Chain A
Amino acid sequence: MSYKLIVSKPPYNALTDTNIDHLQFSSDYNTLKYSMANGSKTVNVVTSASGYYNFQEKISHNLGYKPFFKAYVFLYGYTPVGLFTIVDNHNIHLMVTVDENKMYFIASGFNVETIIGTDLSGPYTDLFNNYNEELCEVYDAGNLNQCFDLVTAWCMQLGFEPTILGGVLNAYEIYTNPPANFLANFDRIAYSVANSPPQKGDIVVFSSAMGGGAGHTGVATGEGDSSSFKLFQQNDDPPGGNPNLTSRSHVPITPYPYTNVYGWFRKIGSGVLIETDDINYTAVFKYKIFKNKLGL
């Protein structure tokens, strides 16, 4: 014989009533069992790095199984309605998970980069697709496939005449003696640690210490740091590269150091100045852990 404990609501009869809505408690039904484990956990998010971020805090519940839980989160400016995602360009996700021994409080999202001005990514991609590992010849047929040709092709990609660098004999002279029309359309930026790396689309110019006295030039890919950078260029290949590509347009595997770099030219109004947001917020998670096993 099995025994039951049933407590009915007034005025119902616990001995005869079977309607669950008439019962305050019935041992036929499971209930959520509170544990004393409740509290709050704060996750501080501070990052200026671009891209995906994920900050976590955790507590130990030590139940040995995944428990039922409820959680909600306080975030300044938002009503605490459980856990949530803020669907905007930062896509903040505030979430809680459990395993057999711990509860995890997670704040993640994206730190977006903002491009100020006209984005040169499209023209750069077109240039790359047109000439990567190809011979580029657009200017001065008496000197085939020079670094100068790819840079001129880039200027043409940006809408300028092929003669915009006309009169410049050696690559290094782009920096030391630029034509007036070129200088009217491009900002000249001297190399410095603070200015580096050059941004995507910048025309980088090396001194006469390279290229057998002629210097060298190419189009920055935007990749790099204060020690080295990558360059889409023609007619050079640093050590470690593919000698079969030396005369062809390509991005050498080995980044260029800043040795012998005069500086670079940036198209006026171009959009390669990138700002990265500073992400700074505090999410306060409130939680309550129950004894019920999820069984997952």
Chain B
Amino acid sequence: MTQIIAVSKTGKDVTTATSPNDFIFHSEYNTLKIIAEPVINKSVPAGGNEIYTLLAHGLSYTPLVEGFCKVDVQSFAMCPYEGIPPYFFYFIGSDATNIYAKLYNGDSLAHTFSIKCYIFEVPQ
């Protein structure tokens, strides 16, 4: 008999539920493991608009990454692909060595962009 560990959502019977969406955790499904979640501060000069190297991830594979950005003069965090003028957080990505982000500072002063990086496992 195959044994599992499963935790269902409130209102769902863990012994009868079959939809993956009914479970908080189910041992038959992989979880997206977060390998590291550093915050990288990057000083972007006035007019800066380029792809910045945030860090070397040190992994043996190219990881899936997600990120959020907060500019020092703003109170909110933004997800990639967007921004509110004059600051943009265009994208975050990775290769076999580094984590990168394209940042744009359209202000006349340098600003610090704080990027929270989520570096995920990539199931093989």
Contact = CB atoms under 8 A, between A and B. Distances in A.
A31 B68 CA distance: 17
B39 A295 contact: yes
A95 B34 contact: no
A210 interface: no
Interface size class of B (residues with CB under 8 A): 20 to 34
B82 A68 contact: no
Given A24-B30, A294-B68, A71 B79 contact: yes
Given A24-B27, A294-B68, A106 B37 contact: no
Contact of B121 (A7, A20, A95, A295): A20
A68 B68 contact: yes
B25 interface: yes
A85 B77 contact: no
A99 B31 CA distance: 27
B33 A66 contact: no
* Interface residue SS majority, chain A: strand
B124 A97 contact: no
B14 interface: no
Given A7-B27, A21-B124, A84-B81, A104 B32 contact: no
Nearest to A29: B33
B121 A66 contact: no
Contacts of B79: 69-71, 83, 95-97
Interface string A74-107: 0000000011110000000111111100001010
Contacts, number: 89
Nearest to B61: A21
Nearest to A94: B82
A106 B84 contact: yes
Interface in A238-283: none
A296 interface: yes
A9 B29 CA distance: 9
Interface residues of A, number: 35
A129 interface: no
A296 B75 contact: no
Nearest to B21: A34
A284 B8 CA distance: 30
22 contacts: A21-B121, A24-B27, A24-B29, A24-B31, A25-B25, A25-B27, A34-B24, A66-B77, A82-B81, A83-B79, A83-B82, A95-B78, A95-B81, A95-B82, A95-B83, A95-B84, A96-B79, A98-B76, A294-B77, A295-B116, A296-B77, A296-B116
Given A95-B82, A296-B69, 14 more contacts: A21-B121, A21-B123, A24-B27, A31-B34, A32-B34, A68-B68, A70-B79, A82-B81, A95-B81, A99-B75, A106-B84, A294-B68, A295-B39, A296-B70
Interface of A: 7, 9, 20-21, 23-26, 29-32, 34, 66, 68-71, 82-85, 93-99, 104, 106, 108, 294-296
Nearest 10 A/B pairs, CB to CB: A95-B82, A29-B33, A296-B70, A30-B34, A97-B76, A99-B76, A7-B27, A21-B124, A66-B77, A97-B78
